[in-house]
Amino acid sequence: MLPEQWETFKRAARREPLDKIPMALIVDSPWIPGYLGISHLDYFLDPELWFQSNLRIMREFPEIIFIPSWWMEYGMAAEPSVLGAKIKFWPDNTPSEYHTLHHLEDLDQLPEYEVEADAFAGLTLHRIKMARRRILDAGYILPMVTARGPLCTAGFVRGTTNFMIDLVENPAGAHRLIDLCTRMIIDWLMAQQKAMGDTVESLFILDDIVGFINEEHYLEFAHPYLKRICDAFPRDWIKLYHNDAEVDACLDHLPDTGFQVLNWGKQRTMAEVKRRVGDRMVLMGNVNPLEVGVRGTPEEVREETLAVLEASGGEGVILSVGGGTSPGMPRENILAMQAALAEFNARRGRAAGR
């Protein structure tokens, strides 16, 4: 993103006064290749195509803050691949992961990980170093390091169903796996920071598996590990958490982890999340990404966007969809969100006498 966009996002995340509510979208390989009509494999493997694709998106929508910006990724392959998960690539979809840790007892047999050398993490870091200078020379910055969260990573390595059973039948073993994933994630984020350089002052964690567990399990198996990740980085960093599965079990506790910004899914309304979180987190949401963002008409997008903004009260909010930008979301619906936001901001400005 551009330096001035990052300053806007930082100010919004810190609840500093802004004349206008900003709009931010999480975009990565599920959306970009389809939107541009290119192969996923070419997007991942052709450095020039990857660079031009991201540059085109940012120039096409200059008023949108894209998160995390210039995302160097192989879908969700990097983190689980470090711990031995099998990765399959497809020409027209993001990679899929297959678990290889069939028994928790086999944790003792895993070799020591090295995020700077292992699997797709090592390749990602090298690609960051290759592209960094060109990104900076184009006037953009790399402010944010990104990782899948500890439960998400554990689910890929162990298999989600097996991992859910482990939480009940072998909690001690589950803790060992989550602890390993947490240590690896912290090292992975630090390695990205080293590769990106001194423009980094933020982290972004994505963990939808947190939405699969109840409140008791969240407090035992997720909360302390999410907090540990936040605590490993400077207090003044912007810390963004994404979970577009169910957030009911974690919602009241998330502000205590250290995350300042929450991006969540369509299951809970802006009004409910605002009521429960209050001013303890900035809310990044919450237009329905699929039924409205992809399948809706521009007028339906406009109506939903205005409803979300009205429910937010116009404070402590960054407009976005409820999660990442879904594959197939068309240009006209993104423009409809922008137009609705401009309408709301103008109305808000008039009310404030601006």
- pLDDT, residue 212, reads 97
Neighbours of 59 (CB within 10 A): 9
User: How far is CA 283 from its chain centroid?
Assistant: 13
Q: What are phi and psi of 90, to 5 degrees?
A: -130, 150
Alpha helix (H) residue ranges in the chain: 3-13, 32-36, 40-45, 47-60, 78-82, 119-137, 150-158, 160-169, 171-196, 215-217, 223-231, 270-277, 298-312, 331-351
Report the percent of the chain where pLDDT is more than 90.
98
351 band by pLDDT with thresholds 50, 70 and 90? confident
Q: What is the mean pLDDT of residues 54-62?
A: 98
Task: Report CA 102 to chain centroid distance, whole Å.
Answer: 28
User: Is pLDDT above 80 for 353?
Assistant: no
Write down the residue that tokens 């990205």 correspond to. 192
What is the rounded distance in angstroms from the CA atom of residue 100 to the CA atom of residue 102? Answer: 6
Residue tagged 């598996």 (tokens)? 209
Q: Given the DSSP bridges, would you call strands 261-264 and 282-287 parallel, antiparallel or unpaired?
A: parallel
Instruction: For residue range 147-162, list pLDDT tens digits in order.
Output: 999 999 999 999 999 9
Per-residue pLDDT, averaged over 119-132, amounts to 98
| 247-305: pLDDT as tens digits | 999 999 999 999 999 999 999 999 999 999 999 999 999 999 999 999 999 999 999 99
pTM (predicted TM-score): 0.97
User: CA 269 to CA 308: how far, in whole Å?
Assistant: 8
% of the chain beyond a pLDDT of 70: 100
CATH of 3-351, one of 3.40.50.1700, 3.90.1150.10, 3.20.20.210, 3.40.190.10: 3.20.20.210
Predicted confidence band at 141 (pLDDT cuts at 50, 70, 90)? Answer: very high
pLDDT confidence bin for 349, thresholds 50/70/90: confident
Contact at 8 Å (CB) between 101 and 83?
yes
In which band, very low, low, confident or very high, does the pLDDT at 354 lie, cut at 50, 70 and 90?
low
Domain limits, the chain: 3-351
pLDDT surpassing 70 at residue 200: yes
Cα separation, 82 vs 117, whole angstroms = 9
The answer, yes or no, to whether residue 101 has pLDDT greater than 80, is yes
Please, what is the angle between helix 223-231 and helix 171-196, to 10°? 30
pLDDT at site 202: 98
